Structure 1
Amino acid sequence: MAEGNGEISYDEVAGKDSDVGRTEDYHKLIEYGLDPKVAAKLDDIYKTGKLAHAELDERALDALKEFPSDGALSVLGQFLDSNLEHVSNKSAFLCGVMKTYRQKSRAGVPGAPALTPTVQVKGPDEEKIKQILARTGYTLDVTTGQRKYGGPPPGWEGGTPGAGCEVFCGKIPKDMYEDELIPLFERCGTIWDLRLMMDPMTGANRGYAFVTFTTRDATQRAVHELDNHEIKPGKTLRIKISVPNLRLFVGNIPKSKGKEEILEEFGKLTAGLVEVIIYSSPDDKKKNRGFCFLEYESHKAASLAKRRLGTGRIKQVWGCDIIVDWADPQEEPDEQTMSKVKVLYVRNLTQDITEEALKEEFEHYGNVERVKKIKDYAFVHFDDRDCAVKAMQELDGKDLGGSRLEVSLAKPPSDKKKKEEILRARERRMMQMIHGRSGFDWCGCSPPHAMRGRTPQQAPRPQHARPDYDYDYDYYGYGDYRGGYNEPFYRYDEFYFDYAGPPQPSAVRQPPNRPQPDDELGLGANSLYYDLTGGTQVPTQLNYSKLLI
């Protein structure tokens, strides 16, 4: 073993007199199966009072037992050097240190065994933190991944703050801590908790935090007063209302499964599942579209479910390799914007319902300027908002052509650039997920063409390809359609898989720039998605069924 950092003494201790002066806990560690040098190091840490044997659970001890002795000694060295004053779960903290060690080792970081950041990171002002904790009666809990300051406030009699009470704070200087952030956010109202995200690889913060207030008014004040606030010369914060994501997208499920079957199956595999959302074709209500959305009681429950289903041991459900990702939340327009909408969004339409039939049905409630049908949904434009609202109230849930209509006010588009970034990020995640799993079972469906022997770079890009369509996604937005608004495109880009069977040979051979008869967007049943981020061309079979959730 290399000398230095005081570790040479443990080589000596591990000799014939290794048990001299050792406590009973040392013998427990030896019996558990730990290397004598590692057991001796832990026993010395026990003697400092920074850690007690009872504070280590089996998970931490098992992880230490699996580590090479040199690595375990380095991990324990950093643990001993860490400030553990605000660490409530020291066993979890030690596991975090071990995880960071593995990450650095895999990345080939020079000096990984020592686990010391290349740049010394300035820590918080401990005296200020103690004053804040004494003043508020709150606690500070530190892990390798975050520093959580929180209450509830002393004497609090209400419940946990609900939706709309949390803000996301970005662009935080990497050397800033809660001793400076708490007084800033306290100007806006009573803080429920503040979570500063930390990078265990460097010891610095990740540049963002989440702050929960006890009231929504305080949240609104924080956005109004602190967004673009100059926290340091040349450094401005970005403050946005945070919406917790409770929903997961699960793709590649059998199309024969119904809502209750899906709820029962995933309810057995994950905790906190409260709702399942599936979509069926109006022309075949017995089948789902090969995917579903799982909604959980909290973001934490959804996050644990994603980890269990996506990266854990459960990778097959009903014999299919499932794909799990976060469902991108749809931004809700404000009330002022929605108060001007005169366009209705009508979904769940069968193929035989025409634009003329829709116009005739909706004109009973006022003058309809135009109707645009795209696949199984349509937009109905009224010239008067009151007439549109009346039609929505009367026709929502009504049967038309054997299908139950779903009618709502159409929502104007969100920021196009932001939506395109979401699409590209999701496309990359999905491709990495699928390519990273050999022997992927497509549950009776065909994979995208690029996964069947043809690399993305080999695929030609047809003239009709559109950059804003994802591969094999069912778009639960409203598609590219010019509506009656000032925005250049009346669209929603929240797209998701529609797992379809193999494309028919006739469809594959069809000339690339000849649209299918029912293709309102002029793309054809088979086309290519062009990834603008890197110029890669991913051949796909596109399906234009639209979803709204």
Structure 2
Amino acid sequence: MAEFKAGFEHELAVQTEASSEAAIPVKGSEEFMKSLSVQRALVELMDKTGYDILQENGQRKYGGPPPKWEGPVPHVDCEVFVGSIPRDVYEDELVPLFETAGTIYEMRLLMEFNGDNRGYAFVKYTNREEAQTAIHMLNDFEIRPGMYIAVCAAQNNCRLFIGCIPNDKSKEEIMEEVKKITKGLLNVTVKSSYRDPAKSRGFAFLEYETHKAAAFARKELIATRSLWGRTHWVNWAKSDRHAKGENVQIIRVAHVLHLSPSTAEETLERECQRYKAGVVVRVKKFTDHAFLHFNSHKDAAAITSIMNGTVIDGNVVTVTLAKYNRDKKRKRANSKVYWGRKRGGIAKETVVPPQEGLNESPVVESINPQLHFNPSPHCAVGEGKAVKQMFPLFPDMPLQQTSLQLLRPCQINTAVSLLDMYCCVHSLPPPHYQLYSVWGQDGTLLLVFKVVMLLTQQAYMPDKLCVHLEDAKELAAQNALWNLGTLYHD
């Protein structure tokens, strides 16, 4: 604070001496006097509060720590981000405003070379409750007429993403190379390839001690044009919203990677039962990975910790908690189904008069307002089709004709096939699909199928239209299964 005051007094003395000589007005004198008034206000603020102000690395730091502070530095969740600050607003206005929410530990105002602020700042309080109070009190606060500031929790990101690196480099090799360029590196996370666990996927996550260290590291890595002869690229890693907060407490599914294609679901179930009887509810196995469903998050977390790194059928497996899909409903809404004016609803058998615009009649009326089936995510319908599991067929393999009744439920992933199996099991003739169409408002031809059970003459039609033929047929089969009392779910 003494240095700041001394500099201010020196500049004031120089300006006074120049003005006393009655010289020609110096160009930029208005800006200089404005700068002096700002510095005068900052000196008065320091005298009033006892905090120090230090400018370094493009930011002006107020406090950090406050006068007579005893104890550790507050946690990162005690800091808030302040945006949309007018460029001519400084600490003399911001500090009194943010002190209304609590005791300020530190304020960092980002500065331009010309003395204006850069429009944002970081304010750290002494505890988390004060930071939350500042968010609720001061977000959208009108700091100037027609000018509102934004206040939210600060994202103190300490992780970097580095891509386009050789996939044969190990965690240790990456850490050794990056430490030659940057400081404060704590850990390197490398994701193994699904096809070859000995190799990476060509990218890694770098974790640093502080956000400041990560910011300097990012700058240094960008300046370093290549690593191991390859041009890499670096950016901030996205925060892992799935693995913190309240979301993690609802995850009851474990994801098992690097499995052998020959590993059966029963083998995985037995592995889980070794640690606790009845712990696993369901096992869903794919080619080289699987999902384990548990009754509680506690069981899922325990089995994840125990099974991670174990050997199953000769393969060292990686087990993690499955990610919580917050955007599941949003993704469903983006499916290629024409929702029309009314959302939801399943068709029942009530016959109504013909609808105008459809090329065949009669049709059925939508009565039930809720959609009770859950289409399988591995159903090969429309875009985003699942990768089919295929195995080589050799000439000497003995083949025999097979009935649908011999198939396991996990071998049928479409509602059309399930409806065929339903008819086969109940000795019914195959269902008959009648195609209808109507022109949408944007000129797209929209399709819908009516499913007719030939023996009983029952007809079922969903109340949604589709763009693609396969989607329309799949939706019609799902609707028929629901009305027949056979829930279609994964």
- Which bin holds the TM-score, normalised by the shorter protein? 0.5 to 0.7
Structure 2 counterpart of 1:176, from 76, 89, 92: 89
Q: Are 1:160 and 2:73 an aligned pair? A: yes
Are 1:231 and 1:237, in contact at CA under 8 Å, matched by a contact in 2?
yes
Q: Is contact 1:365–1:391 with CA below 8 Å preserved after alignment?
A: no
Residues 397 and 490 from structure 1, CA distance in 2 versus in 1: closer, same or farther, beyond 3 angstroms? farther
- Kindly tell me: are residues 410 and 247 of structure 1, through their superposed partners in 2, closer, same or farther at Cα, counting changes over 3 Å? same
Match for residue 20 of structure 1? Answer: none
1:366–1:388 contact (8 Å) kept in structure 2: no
Corresponding residue for residue 339 of structure 1: 249
Match of 1:187 among 83, 100, 105: 100
Q: How does 1:48-197 map to 2 (within 5 A)?
A: 81-82=31-32, 128-142=41-55, 145-197=58-110
- Letter in structure 1 aligned against 2:271: E
Match of 1:243 among 155, 159, 162: 155
Contact 2:242 2:248 in 1 (8 A): no
Partner of 1:304, secondary structure, is helix
Question: Structure 1 residue aligned with 2:300, among 388, 395, 400?
Answer: 388
Q: Which amino acid aligns with 2:234?
A: V
Deviations along 1:294-338, one digit per CA (max 9) or x if unpaired, are 22222222222222221x2x2122211122222122125665443
Structure 2 CA distance, aligned partners of 1:83 and 1:318?
53
Summarize deviations over 1:129-166 as a string: whole Å, max 9, x none: 33321122223345794443223212223333333221
* Letter aligned with residue 189 of structure 1: G
What is residue 388 of structure 2 aligned with on the other side?
Answer: 517
Runs of 5+ unmatched residues, structure 1: 1-44, 51-75, 87-122, 420-462, 464-485, 492-511, 523-549
Q: Which amino acid aligns with 2:89?
A: M
* In structure 1, distance between residues paired with 2:164 and 2:27: 46
Hey, what's the Cα distance between the residues in 2 that align with 1:82 and 1:154?
Answer: 31
Give 3-state SS (helix, strand or coil) of 1:316's partner: coil
Residue in 2 that maps onto 1:271 = 183
Superposed CA RMSD in Å reads 4.5
- 1:279 aligns to what SS in structure 2? strand
Question: What residue is the counterpart of 2:201 in the other structure?
Answer: 289
Q: Which amino acid aligns with 2:388?
A: P
**Residues 204 and 159 of structure 1: is their aligned pair in 2 closer, same or farther, counting only changes over 3 Å?**
same
Q: Specify the SS of the correspondent of 1:157.
A: coil
Give the direction of change, closer, same or farther, for the CA distance of 1:517–1:234 in structure 2 (3 Å limit).
same
Q: Which amino acid aligns with 2:184?
A: G
Change (3 A) 1:318 1:267: same
Is the alpha carbon distance of 1:205 and 1:327 closer, same or farther for their aligned partners in structure 2, counting shifts above 3 Å? same
Q: Output one character per residue of 1:190-220: Cα deviation in whole Å (capped at 9) or x when no partner.
A: 212212234558x654432211123333223
The answer to whether the 8 A contact 2:84-2:119 is kept is yes
Counterpart Cα distance in 2 of 1:79 and 1:128: 18
* Aligned partner of residue 168 in structure 1, secondary structure: strand
Query: 1:214-229 alignment to 2 at 5 Å?
Result: 214-229=126-141
Q: Which of the pair has more CA radius of gyration?
A: 2
Alignment partner of 1:318 out of 228, 251, 264: 228
Identity %: 40
Q: Secondary structure at the match of 1:193?
A: strand
Judged with a 3 Å threshold, the aligned counterparts in structure 2 of structure 1 residues 229 and 416 are, in CA distance, closer, same or farther, namely farther
Question: How do 1:352-367 residues align onto structure 2 when only pairs under 5 Å count?
Answer: 352-362=262-272, 365-366=277-278
Q: Is 1:149–1:195's contact at 8 Å kept on the other side of the alignment?
A: yes
Deviations 1:453-512 (A, max 9, x none): xxxxxxxxxx9xxxxxxxxxxxxxxxxxxxxxx9x9999xxxxxxxxxxxxxxxxxxxx9
Q: Which amino acid aligns with 1:214?
A: T
Distance 1:231 1:404, change over 3 A: farther
SS at match of 1:194: strand
Q: Call closer, same or farther: CA 1:219–1:251 in 2, change over 3 Å.
A: same
Count the aligned residue pairs.
Answer: 326
Cα distance in 1 between the residues matched to 2:84 and 2:329? 20
Contact 1:342/1:382 (8 A) holds in 2: yes
CA distance in 2, matches of 1:411, 1:372: 16
Change in CA separation of 1:78 and 1:379 when aligned onto 2, cut-off 3 Å: farther
Contact 1:342-1:385 within 8 A present in 2 as well: yes
Instruction: Tell me the amino acid that sits aligned with residue 158 of structure 1.
Output: G
TM-score by length of 1: 0.49
Structure with a larger share of its residues in strand: 2
